[in-house]
Structure 1
Amino acid sequence: MSGELVGIQPRELKFTFELKKKSSCSVQLVNHSDQYVAFKVKTTSPKKYTVRPNIGVILPYATCDFTVTMQAPHEVPLGMQCKDKFLVQSTVVPFGTTVEDLPSGLFSQENSRKFEEYKLKVVLISPPNSPVLQPINAALRSSEPAYETEPAYETLKAKEQPLDQTENLPPPQVVTEDIENLRSKLSEVTEDIENLRSKLSEAERMMTRLQEEKSIILEQNETLQQEMALVKKRPRVKVQVGFSFLFVCFIGLVGASLGYLLHL
């Protein structure tokens, strides 16, 4: 359509519906202007889907893709009908703007900036060769194609469920801050590991020194025991104290002889 700021293809988000299996589809945004255009993707069911990226900037006459992933369903919806909707908002931003430059409240309802809004509906399709699941989301005539492809530019009506303003993914600036925090924590953990390694190395050196001292003590103890064993095996030497019996007899005999001679 003429005057359209951003072109969107496709206009329906088609997911292959299989229980306990995720399904994804890609959407392409085309900037039809010569200006920088920021976009943001919102959904009525943020817990069921993830959008990557859910916010960005498209350069003049350039394209940008985002991927929507539906979480694995655990039950078949009644009548295979899905009422979830997506809203793509776009607005012109100053030349040279990056994702990091976008203010957090740029796409809030309180902002007086003019937006172009595009509503995308969800269509569930059955996997190939599946006789159970059938295409849904409309009671179509047999002569009509399985899914509508007309563009949907109208905004969500008041009677419909309001779009959840909660983001599926944090803005890139927040992600960058989280990465920096993780890097800082990783650096601290690395430093702690290095300190532990240093202390462990010091403890190993101390253990080695203690083992060497223990070996020396054991060797000295063994040598001492050997010396004590040798001392015990040596014969004891008797030490005579005083004079021998023969010497006493000899002295007595000499004394008697002298006494006899003196009495003559």
Structure 2
Amino acid sequence: MATHLLHIEPAELRFVFELKKQSSCLVQLANNTDHFLAFKVKTTSPKKYCVRPNIGIIKPNDKCDFTVTMQAQRMAPPDMLCKDKFLIQSTVVPVGTTEDDITSDMFAKDSGKFIEEKKLRVVLISPPSSPVLLPVNGDMKHDPSNEINVQKDRLPSGVENIPPPRKVSEEVKGLEPAQDMKEDRADEDIVPRQAENVGDMKPAKDDVQSNLANESEELKSKLSVMDSKLREAEVTITKLNEERRRNTQEKDLLKKELEVLKRQINTKGNQAGFPFLFVCMVALISVAVGYYIHP
């Protein structure tokens, strides 16, 4: 597939880093195709980040947002450099597919489907009110030369966020993949470029737990529905067995009545007419009477 399925904005995740404070970043996914797309978000540090939602369906030529929240950290990384990475997988799905239908098999490369994967690196920036902290001889000092002023957006939840980076020209965009490849080589120990190691990335822990909870609730509801249907089926089978038993009894009773009727008919047939001895006696009496009347 020559065209990209998703356009991701921003191209990297920027977090305003402050000790013992959470920070969030909003990512927007744009569907550039006329197909329904399913996406899934993975990270190299699932315990450090929370992604909501980490899976979803994007309609044709539509957009979808997800939020990545970095948990409060007790220590700052050296030189404010972070090697964490995120992987966004996307693939074409049939029309009418919902989030409940999304499974890990949809994003398996051995399925024969086209799976688009894009990596986003994490960038930590200092809050605008304080310069970057650099460790010098074990102590933290201010470095005015590295002070960065960033315009912040305030999210409804009160967590600070930064706006997406400005759009660059097509020529600069063409250089971004090559730059990412160099950075991937430098960080091979964290995120190898081999395809089989990409599967080691795990979704954010909270999202996995929420998905498991939702799936367990759905399974419980389905089991309750199946139990009710099973009880109804048992009641129906009991009724049918009772009707069958009654029909069998009625059939046997009709057979007995039919046999009694046949016997009665045969008995009446045998008794029809006069016995031969009775006829002979009547004939003799008639002859004797005639003889006496007409000597």
Output the TM-score relative to the length of structure 1: 0.57
State the alpha-carbon separation in 2 of the partners of residues 160 and 109 from structure 1.
22
Name the counterpart of 1:113: 113
Task: Indicate conservation of the 8 Å contact 2:80/2:125, yes or no.
Answer: no
Q: Is 2:177 the counterpart of 1:177?
A: no
State the alpha-carbon separation in 2 of the partners of residues 60 and 175 from structure 1.
30
Q: Is 2:195 the counterpart of 1:166?
A: no
Task: Indicate conservation of the 8 Å contact 1:13/1:123, yes or no.
Answer: yes
Output the TM-score relative to the length of structure 2: 0.51
1:159, distance to aligned residue in structure 2 (A):
3.0
1:115, distance to aligned residue in structure 2 (A):
0.9
Q: Is 2:20 the counterpart of 1:20?
A: yes
Task: Indicate conservation of the 8 Å contact 1:50/1:68, yes or no.
Answer: yes
Name the counterpart of 1:186: none
State the alpha-carbon separation in 2 of the partners of residues 72 and 159 from structure 1.
26
Task: Indicate conservation of the 8 Å contact 1:99/1:172, yes or no.
Answer: no
State the alpha-carbon separation in 1 of the partners of residues 114 and 219 from structure 2.
36
Q: CA RMSD in A?
A: 3.3
1:25, distance to aligned residue in structure 2 (A):
0.5
Q: Is 2:90 the counterpart of 1:61?
A: no
Name the counterpart of 1:47: 47
Give me the identity figure in percent.
50
Greater gyration radius: 1
Name the counterpart of 1:9: 9
Task: Indicate conservation of the 8 Å contact 1:55/1:171, yes or no.
Answer: no
User: Which runs of no fewer than 5 residues in structure 2 stay unpaired?
Assistant: 135-145, 151-164, 192-197, 222-295
> Judging changes above 3 Å, is the alpha-carbon distance between structure 1 residues 106 and 181 closer, same or farther for their aligned structure 2 residues?
closer
DSSP-derived class of the 1:51 partner: strand
Task: Indicate conservation of the 8 Å contact 1:100/1:172, yes or no.
Answer: no
Name the counterpart of 1:38: 38
State the alpha-carbon separation in 2 of the partners of residues 40 and 171 from structure 1.
15
Structure with the bigger percentage of helix: 2
Q: Deviations over 1:125-174 (max 9, x none)?
A: 1112202448xxxxxxx9xxx99976555786693424433221238764
1:55, distance to aligned residue in structure 2 (A):
0.8
Task: Indicate conservation of the 8 Å contact 1:125/1:133, yes or no.
Answer: no
